[in-house]
Structure 1
Amino acid sequence: MVTMVGNESSINDLVTNLIYLEHDAIAAYESCIERLDSPELSSQIARFREDHLQHLQVLNEMAREIGTEAPTEGDMKQMLTTGKIALADLMGDAAILKAMKTNEDDTVTAYERAARHRDAIPKSRAFFEKALHDEERHRAWMDSTADRL
């Protein structure tokens, strides 16, 4: 799935769409945690999920600061992010991590774009860059771990 998040013309729309993206990611992480056979892998995924919860908290605060109503749940993309995890479950932990890695591809792209958004102030840009670093770390771990399984 290719995301368009980060291409919004206003910071309000950007923050709203990042909140949707985080809700979708959290749902995918929860699905992943439930489906992985390895407790060690589930534990690491749970730690990554905490990063997403923290991102959501910051984005919700951003929304309040700019006067935008924050979504309280994911959007239709959530079915795609969790659905590919369910399908991958048929093939084992490596396939689940590869499916999660494709979800991370979208979050990396979204935060790369957000960090360059013309309306991002230094404080929001710093958060977007931190979130980008988190997402790149998640994606790299998922990719290398799936390759070792």
Structure 2
Amino acid sequence: MSETMENIVEKLNDLIEMDYDAISAYQAAIERLENPEYRDQLNVFMQDHENHIAVLSQIVCQEGGAPPEKGDLKKILTNGGVHIAQLAGDDGILKAMQLNEVMTNNLYEENVEEAFPEPVNSILQDHLADERRHKEWLETTLHHLHEPH
């Protein structure tokens, strides 16, 4: 494996771990949300993260790397499943998820800026678009929750 591919595999593996961590946070959030519409929406977002893992893992394998099989609940997401399990109320849970999505957006943005070879770059662009959609929905929903009725 060339040094460039090794670098790409390492960065993709970081993204895969982050997507696993995001899924565990989403699972915790979905279990605790009261509003069924919010739960449905977060389920869709969680599936996006599952799709990201599947696609990125396939690239890592094709390049001779070994994709991680779980997250490592470390540096990237501060508001993982453990933290969310301690929160009460849809507002607090959505806020924690929004902070997570800021971080997933940042990591995908950093990787898109690396300008990896195709098709990796296009795939990362697609994933970043998903992340931006998640963040936007959370921001909009939180905004509406805080509007005076």
Normalised by the length of structure 1, the TM-score is 0.86
Structure 2 residues without counterparts, runs of 5 or longer: 1-5
Task: Tell me which residue corresponds to 1:57.
Answer: 54
Tell which structure's C-alpha radius of gyration is larger.
Answer: 2
Deviation at 1:72, TM superposition (A): 0.6
Moved over 3 A (4+): none
**2:25 is matched by which residue type in structure 1?**
A
2:3 corresponds to: none
Secondary structure at 1:129 match in 2: helix
Change (3 A) 1:49 1:76: closer
CA distance in 2, matches of 1:79, 1:125: 27
Match of 2:35 in 1: 38
Where does 1:59-74 land on structure 2 (aligned, <5 Å)?
A: 59-74=56-71
Corresponding residue for residue 121 of structure 1:
117
Gaps of 5+ in 1: 1-8
Per-residue deviation, 1:95: 1.4
1:95-116 superposed Cα distances (whole Å, 9 cap, x missing partner): 1111101000111011111112
Measured against aligned partners, the alpha-carbon deviations of 1:31-76 in whole angstroms (never above 9, x if no partner) come to 1110101111100100111111110110110111111111111103
Equivalent pairs, count: 138
Describe how 1:1-149 pairs up with structure 2 within 5 A. Answer: 10-77=7-74, 80-87=79-86, 89-90=87-88, 92-118=89-115, 120-149=116-145
Deviation of 1:79 after TM superposition, in Å, equals: 7.6
**CA RMSD between the two structures:** 1.6
Identity between Structure 1 and Structure 2 (%): 35
Distance 1:50 1:82 in 2: 16
Question: 2:101–2:131: 8 Å Cα contact kept in structure 1?
Answer: yes
**Structure 2-normalised TM-score?**
0.86
